[in-house]
Structure 1
């Protein structure tokens, strides 16, 4: 049986500043690289009670 390994702290991983938000978004949503890079502002609905991203 595998043991659960939590994600490393992002403070200890050296990302460049412009990628930090993309990495956090992909870790929290499970989006793949292609889905993440293809996002446009029209895909995001931030006006509702729950913010949603349509892929």
Structure 2
């Protein structure tokens, strides 16, 4: 058990890095959310037409 705890602590200290800069990551997430918003907005009155 002790060796497992040491291995996880060593991995946590090493950490992982993003493949792109955080700014690019945030802008792409924001762009994806805006795209989903526009798709949702495009279908806002489909139910009232029929």
Q: Same fold (TM over 0.5)?
A: no
Higher helix share: 2
Of the two structures, which has the highest relative contact order with CA contacts closer than 8 Å and spacing of 6 or more?
1
Give the number of the structure whose alpha-carbon radius of gyration is greater: 2
Higher strand share: 1
TM-score (norm. length: structure 2): 0.27
TM-score (norm. length: structure 1): 0.26
